[in-house]
Amino acid sequence: MVLDRDSKLLRIFIGEMDKLNHSPLYEALVFAAREQGIAGATVLRGILSYGANSRIHAAKLLDLSHDLPVVVEIVDRAEAIEQYLATADRLIESAGCGALITVERAEVIRYKSKK
C-alpha cells in the first residue's frame, strides 16, 4: 500500500477500561481498522488526563486509577478515514462510553514495511 503525502490522522481518545463485549474497546477499534484495510493504527496509553467530566485520571504509584487515558491513532488517506469514522462511531456507541474523536492533516514522509 502507498500512502499519499497528504493524508489524515485520526485520534480517538477513550478510557483504558472502556469495553466492548468484555474486550478492550481499543482492541475492537484497531481490529476493525485492520479489517477495513486501514494503513496503520497505534494505541498509546497516557499517564494523566481529564475529559468532559473533568475527573482526573492519573498513573501514580499510590493512586488506584485504573481508567487511564488511551489514544488510538490511525493514519490513512482521507477517504479511508472518512469511511472508518462510521465504524469507530458505531463501536464507541455500542460500548456506551465517552470519547473524543479528532481528525487532522498528516504529511506522510515515509510509509514502508521492513523487508
Instruction: Provide the residue-wise pLDDT of the chain in tens; the chain has 115 residues.
Output: 889 899 999 999 999 999 999 999 999 999 999 999 999 999 999 877 677 777 776 666 555 556 789 999 999 999 999 999 999 999 999 999 999 999 999 999 999 888 7
CATH of the domain at 39: 3.30.70.120
Residue 85 domain-assigned?
A: yes
Q: Which residue range is the domain that position 78 belongs to?
A: 6-107
Residue 69 domain-assigned?
A: yes
Residue 112 domain-assigned?
A: no
Predicted pLDDT of residue 53: 72
The structure's pTM equals: 0.87
Query: How far is the first Cα of the chain from the last one, in angstroms, to the nearest whole number?
Result: 14
The region that residue 112 occupies, defined by phi over 0 for left and psi between -120 and 50 for alpha, beta otherwise, is beta
* Count of domains forming the chain: 1
Predicted pLDDT of residue 82: 97
